[in-house]
Amino acid sequence: MIEFIQDQDLELQKLLFQTPALVTLYEVSHRGVKHLDPVEEKQATIYLTVICNQGPEKFKDFFKEVKKTFKHYLHALNEDLPGEAERRRAEIEKRLRPVKKFIAQLPESHQTSFRDALFGFATHTRSVVGDTLESVILPFISDNLRKIEDERLHRIL
């Protein structure tokens, strides 16, 4: 995977390395606050470690590189992005458009694996901090809650 990235211009390379942090912040923004909860950060970092060690072989080098700058990007982007949730989400979606285009150019098997790996950041962050309605009650009402949330993420990637 890393060779696909090295063939891209420097701006896109940087954006690709920021993408896990952007996806994490996108998911956090549903709470409507700019503050990144330490538990959310920790959970995203744990997921990053897991994917570095147990993820698809073709992405391990990429995620090992991401791990070196993840916390830096997470905090820098958190400060840089708008505070209001809707504006924040819109800005993240805008920033991720070149990533979506890049992913679409990958071989199909790489597309699916890479998207799944990125969605993992949202899934792990979402499972830690969420309101009671979203995390406890709705899963009993609707088995499709995860599908609804994932569809929202599919728009941006």
What are the residue ranges spanned by the domains of the chain?
A: 2-156
Report the chain's C-alpha Rg in angstroms.
15
**CB contact set of 26 (below 8 Å; sequence gap of 6+):** 89, 92, 93, 122, 153, 156
pLDDT per residue as tens digits for the range 6-29: 888 999 999 999 999 999 998 888
* pTM for the full predicted model: 0.82
Task: Provide the mean pLDDT of the chain.
Answer: 81
Q: Identify the DSSP state of 136.
A: I
Residue that wins the pLDDT comparison between 4 and 149: 4
The secondary element (H helix, E strand) that includes residue 146 is helix 145-156
**CB contact set of 39 (below 8 Å; sequence gap of 6+):** 128, 129
pLDDT surpassing 70 at residue 123: yes
pLDDT per residue as tens digits for the range 135-156: 444 444 445 545 655 666 666 6
DSSP string for residues in 26-83: HHHGGGS-S---HHHHHHHHHHHHHHHHHS-HHHHHHHHHHHHHHHHHHHHHHHHS-S
pLDDT surpassing 90 at residue 55: no
pLDDT per residue as tens digits for the range 70-95: 999 999 999 999 988 889 989 999 99
The pLDDT of residue 125: 75
What tokens does 87 get?
Answer: 């504006």
